[in-house]
Amino acid sequence: MPKITTDSGIEIKELYTSGDVETTDNSLPGEFPFTRGVQPTMYRGKLWTMRQYAGFSTAEESNKRYHYLLAQGVSGLSVAFDLPTQIGYDSDHALSEGEVGKVGVAIDSLEDMERLFAGIKLEDVSTSMTINATGFILLAFYTALAKKQGADLKKISGTIQNDILKEYAARGTYIYPPKQSMRIITDIFEWCATDLPKWNTISISGYHIREAGSTAVQEIAFTLSNGKAYVKAALEKGLNINVFGKRLSFFFNAHNNLFEEVAKFRAARKMWAKIMKDLGATDDKAMMLRFHTQTGGSTLTAQQPLNNICRVTIQTLAAVLGGTQSLHTNGYDEALSLPTEEAARIALRTQQIVAYESGVPETVDPFAGSYFVESLTTEVERAAWQLIEKIDAMGGSVLAIEEGFMQDEIAASAYQYQKDIETGDKISVGVNKFQVTETNTTPVFKIDDSIQKVQTDKLKSLKARRDNDKAMASLAKLTVAANGTENLMPIVIEAVENYCTLGEVADTLRNVFGEYR
């Protein structure tokens, strides 16, 4: 009989018994090492936050979608930004041509942020922003808007992704070299600790590592290794691990192999608790791995797109059974376009049906004690530690990325997966088996190219109305600070309050830090 393995190459036996469970983890949920969950009562006490990732076109259009989602029952907003915003170009830049508002919302200034959250009190929502290289600028916009609303900054909650290491390894929306990027990130840690204490300063992301083609084991190994690098950088800056450690969060992918995914989440919690303890954390809350999950975009197929509703349901169950703190479920049409309102609603309803009809949230860590899941958790953990030890031997994540180790490992896994699909060794329903002749009737959501002119006109108007002397003085101040060691966050906030644009702030630092190539 042929050997059966998970996507990570872990062999699956035909039958599991008590003899396959090496050690019994008798820890309770909410107790170190948090294998069984970070809260004693988990979803009996409070359901996971149901976020729906949304953002497209202009701030005004995205604002309408946010009000729609809030009315449908989401409990947190999750903002997608367009590519120019992600890499620090205003909408009128030549390199923004054809990309404005396409994969997310275009945000060029504080005025755009005001339009994006019109009618939404920032004190009343938790906002997650998927932004990395320019995360500090978007956080400055958000903070400036909260101040304009008269909000108490001590009550403002949310997350910026802010994970630049995975950009070098897997995704590509970086601007500055690693050393300067790490400085910006630790400045954010330091500033938020005193000024925005409820804000999650980083969402260390395995999601994009998995989307680039990694296995489940590589996803957690590379993500936790990157997490170690951020913690070490913060410690070198003299920050208190028991303070900033509580504001670290993670972002993982949920794929189709239900049991491997549950084991992955359980193993990741246990491993991070050990890593933080070894780095000097003594407060339990600084050792907890809290994470957001998104269902696997790369698992969605353009063929027979309604099948994706089934895939997203399995992935939702994996995330919830694995103990996620918040969840975004993908629309069934996302292999074809941005999700339509109908697809976004079905995705949200998938979470709500699991929450209110499945019975899954009614007990904590229901797979605990399963011979198979406990054994698989151990195997995933063991394989992930082996990878982390290799990275440590290279000098840590930054050096492993600079040497191309992570990129090569991910590329090899992606190649093998695609090869298995093409040979039929791996089945993708509707793609290489159970195919039908089909004509696509799924409605697609298109973004008009005229958005660039709309945004360009807004920028012209803003620059004509603002106090340009104040704006230029702010940028000059930022140049001086970037050449020194001063924390950049208060200066960037002052700049955006004087209506400096995202591109102007990013370019000011490009002139000092240079660009990574």
SS3 sequence, 302-365? CCCCCHHHHHHHHHHHHHHHCCCCEEECCCCCCCCCECCHHHHHHHHHHHHHHHHHCCHHHCCC
User: Is-above-0.85 flag for pTM?
Assistant: yes
Pairing of strands 157-160, 199-200: parallel
Distant-in-sequence, close-in-space partners of 501: CB < 8 Å, separation ≥ 6: 90, 108, 109, 459, 462, 463
- What was the pLDDT predicted at 51? 79
- What was the pLDDT predicted at 442? 78
Question: How many Cα neighbours within 13 Å face the side chain of 444?
Answer: 11
Q: Which two tokens stand for residue 238?
A: 């003299």
Averaged confidence pLDDT in the chain: 94
172: left (phi over 0), alpha (psi -120 to 50) or beta: left
Q: Please name the helix (run of DSSP H) or strand (run of DSSP E) that holds residue 497, with its range, or none.
A: helix 489-497
Mean pLDDT of 125-150: 96
Residue 2 banded pLDDT, cuts 50, 70, 90: confident
Taking the C-alpha atoms of residue 365 and residue 43, their distance in angstroms, rounded to an integer, is: 10
Taking the C-alpha atoms of residue 62 and residue 102, their distance in angstroms, rounded to an integer, is: 12
- What was the pLDDT predicted at 348? 93
Mean pLDDT of 407-434: 95
- What was the pLDDT predicted at 447? 66
Mean pLDDT of 486-514: 98
What are the pLDDT digits (tens) for 288-327?
Answer: 999 999 999 999 999 999 999 999 999 999 999 999 999 9
Closest C-alpha to 409, from 210, 232, 270: 210
Name the CA dihedral angle for 254, 417, 300, 105, rounded to a multiple of 10 degrees: 80
- What was the pLDDT predicted at 439? 82
Report whether pLDDT(350) > 70.
yes
Q: Which residue has the tokens 């899941």?
A: 373
Burial class of residue 225, CB neighbours in 10 A (0-12, 13-18, 19+): buried
E-strand spans in 81-196? Answer: 126-130, 157-160
Query: Percentage of the chain with pLDDT > 90?
Result: 87
Coil, helix or strand for 160? strand
Report whether pLDDT(244) > 80.
yes
Please count the residues of the chain. Answer: 517
What are the pLDDT digits (tens) for 37-74?
Answer: 999 999 999 999 987 766 678 899 899 988 988 888 88
- What was the pLDDT predicted at 103? 86
Report whether pLDDT(473) > 80.
yes
Q: Which residue has the tokens 């929306």?
A: 173
